[in-house]
Structure 1
Amino acid sequence: MAESESIRAAGAGTAAGAATAAADGPPEGARSERRSPRPRLRTVVVLLVLALLFGLPWATLFAFGTGWPLPVFAAGTAVFGAGLLAFPFLMAAGHGRRRNDRASRVADTTLGVVWVLFAWSVPAGLVHLVLVGLGAGGAGRARALAVGVAAVAAVLLAWGHHEAMRVPRIRRVDVPLPRLGGGLDGIRVVVLADTHYGPIDRAGWSARVTEAVNALDADVVVHAGDIADGTPVQRRAQSAPLGAVRARLAKVYVTGNHEYFGEAQGWLDRMAELGWEPLHNRHVVVERGGDALVLAGVDDVTAESSGLAGHRANLHGALEGADPGRPVLLVAHQPKYVAQAAAAGVDLQISGHTHGGQIWPFHFLVRIDQPVVQGLSRHGERTRLYTSRGTGFWGPPFRVFAPSEITVLTLRAGGAGA
């Protein structure tokens, strides 16, 4: 929901990262932290978070004065207890080094269900406390609150699953860029981000997304990272339709943080094989009507800690040799890179990573780590930032109050600001 980095998915936009971080350990090639107390502290924090995520919904549905008959209470307790005990092992099997897709599907779905129940158990618990304080409590009202939480969660999960699995809606945004030449006025940049090809086989969905992109008659198509969870070999069928994406001037791709949980260089190679330009701290120049636009890209900000040689976010390297008089469109997976972009005078940064929160109210946590959750924003005198809510989803196959998108950015020459 997706992606803070202390919770792995806060940037991905989901709540699942706490358990996943414990399951995965450091990215391949990173230095070992076995002698540091940090992994132990992280494990304690993860366990406390999981106890709260599972415990509060259990208490709201089956305790807190509900007075259910013993068989109902025992059955509910058994279900939540089994889920809590199994969840870390399923996450380890699914998102750890073994990458068992079946375990991932069960763990991710469980997390989504528990998160939605937790989110609505909080206000229900507050209402229950108020009623008790007013002397208006009782088993009947407690049961009504429990049933209400369960009903709301069921509706939101069913709707959220539909939203996650559908082809994203088209979102159209005009972006004024004062330095853009008149020959490039009206250029259409179609943005994909956070496709997260993963444990659920979405090859058919990927093909339909490609059809939707091609119908937009793009000049430039951008994939802003987090292409998949898994290796290029694992997700070959799901990524294959990207080879059919069409653009008049360029198709460009940068790595996201999730590529560095797998095979980042492999994904750069795979996208090149599919006919895309991997902007691995480099740029290309596109021209139309006698005017030029620099398309630059940087590795994700987590790349340097991955231990992969030559991988880090290097804006200086990406712009090396570019004409400083030309406008720059920078693709950087995480919105928080906009501080560096603004300092360098970049005209437009395109990012993803946040998923718009993916499952409400996770966007509040995303906002702690990122300057923007979604949409067009302005930073400094020159720089605009567009943050996509993402095309796919990470982890839990749900999107609640954070719809996915395929974005059409129409760049406009001149104009005062966004």
Structure 2
Amino acid sequence: MNEETNMHFTKRKTIAASAVAALAGSLLMAAGTTAHAQSAGLRLMAVGDSITAGYRSSTGNGYRGPLWTELINQGDALDFVGSQRSGVMFDPDNEGYFGDRIDQIAGLINGELALYQPNVVLLHIGTNDLGQNYQVSTAPNRLASLIDQILAADPGVTILVAQLICNSTGWVQTDINNFNSQIPGIVQARVNAGKHVYTVSMSSLNLGDLNDGLHPNDGGYQKMADNWDAGIRQVIANGWVSHIDFAGVFEIQNQYSGQVVDVSGGSTSNNAPIVQWPYQGTSNQLWNFIPTSNGYYQIKNAGSALDLNVAGASTANGAKIVQWQFGNQGNDQWQPVRQSDGSYIFYNRNSGSVLDNPSGTTQAGQFDQWGWNGGQSNQRFNVIGR
């Protein structure tokens, strides 16, 4: 009996009918508790223009870099999500688009909300409407409509709406002042309707915090991060941040080998093998879980932003696991089913087979898919928050 056959004896084709269980829940304490005593699981989407993307910061991280550090240090489980990547930070995902106005963000955001399903949205938008002198008088109305659009597309989401940062051009600043003055009323109307929307002031920034009269310098981005952090702490204290499963970034460790799911060589290319390797804490060994539907997840590598994928959408036993961009065939969607010992078995949506270690304890052995084998340890994985 060869190693592959030995490790897969008593394999079965049937899938266990188990519910997907949550990892540790976010801590939603009473509103009277001090905000900084609380933490939460955050799938956080930063939405806006080039300021959100981090333009003119020395790292390209903008406010997201220091905000990441503040939130992690306060005990939050955190995953920034979005289709854009900018900066050199560990988790560079965002929805920041250079030059975009409110109407342009409204034209693309529904698809991104459906794909990434954030529970908190940070919204700083309108600078380009005013700077481009685009229908300035109705810009607050467009902002209100965008807020309603996000709430409709992602029920249960909490939106933090920023008042715009300052601008060195006098007539633009006049329009910013008028725009900002209307935001608290827009937000309060939604709060009165039972929605989770919160105003974040950016008035702590001044012209000395700008790099080019429009975009912040590093000190200005730090102030933005501090303001966002204060707002996030408050909405957590309010009990507004909904629980989500698998919030944050995770190591996925095979029970049999004790090694972790790893993108070979730290590759960022499609079709790179997914192998096992001793844990080193590098981004090619860390994964985000993005829900799709009915308990399935896109499992995205933190280094490459590509997904755990069954090569060629195969349904055959032994088909290799690689990384690939997210598609629509279901071969890169996995249902994590919790076992009695707290480990998980991952069922592939397309094939019905499970994520499997055919290589024993061999380093760099490539993972494959195989029919469920009754719960042996080569098909069980510990999901460990990092």
Relative to its length, the structure with more strand (as a share) is 2
| Structure ranking higher on relative contact order (CA contacts 8 Å, 6+ apart) | 1
TM normalised by structure 1 equals 0.27
Relative to its length, the structure with more helix (as a share) is 1
